[in-house]
Amino acid sequence: MAYPSPKKFWHWLKDFLSGFLFGGLIRTAREEKQGYQDLFMVLTLGQMLGIPLMGNYYALRLLPFQVKELSAWQRRLLRDQDLLELFAE
């Protein structure tokens, strides 16, 4: 059986504490950022979700910057949301 070295233990402790102490804080920050991001995407590229928006020209100019986000954004907004997901906060 290999004994854990102090360096390994230190890494383990750092990871553990970052999840234990900061996991929730980081998640909240991410959710808030995601909320603004989703709102922006809906306002600019809402057509892709079936919302009739007028500004297609500007949407097309923004499209290259948002291509990377598109599939995750669509999946997030269109998937079934469960009431229980509140517990993940």
Partner 1 sequence: MNSLVVLLFWAIIVGLGYFVYSKWVNQNIFEADPNRATPAKMYLDGVDYMPANKTVLFGFQLNSIAGAAPIIGPIIALQWGWLPAVLWLGFGVLLIGWVQDYSICMVSVKNDGDTLGALSYKLISPRSRAILLAFIYFYLLLLATAFGDVISKGLSGNAALPLPMLVAVGTAFLVGHLIYRSRVNILLTTLVAIVLIFGGIALGNYLPIRASYNVMLVALCIFAYFGATLPVWQFIQPYNYASVYVTYFGIITGIIGVLISAKPMTLPAVGSFNIGLGPLWPMMFVTIACGAISGWHSLVSSIGTSRQIENELDVRPVTSGAMFAEFTISVIAVIVCATAFTSNADYLAQLKAAGPVAIFTTGLGGAITSLGFPATFAQSVGGAMILILALTTINLVFRFMKVATVELLGGKVPLARNQHVAVLIAVIITFFLIKTGYWLYIWVLFGGANQLMASLALLLVTLYLASTAKNYRFILYPMFFMYISTVAAIFYTAFFKLLPPVFSGQLTGVKTVGHVLSATFGVLLIVLALILAYDGYQAFKKYRAANAALRLAEAGKTH
Stretch that binds partner 1, among 40-48, 52-60, 68-76 (CB under 8 A): 68-76
Q: Give me the least distance between CB of 24 and partner 1, in Å please.
A: 6
Q: Are 59 and 65 in contact (CB under 8 A)?
A: no
Residues 4-33 binding partner 1 (CB under 8 A) are: 12, 15-25, 27-32
- Residue 31 CA to residue 40 CA, distance in Å, equals 14
Residue for token pair 């517990």: 87
Give the rounded distance of the alpha carbon of 41 from its chain centre. 13
Point out which residues bind partner 1 (CB under 8 A): 12, 15-25, 27-32, 34, 72-73, 75-76, 80, 82-89
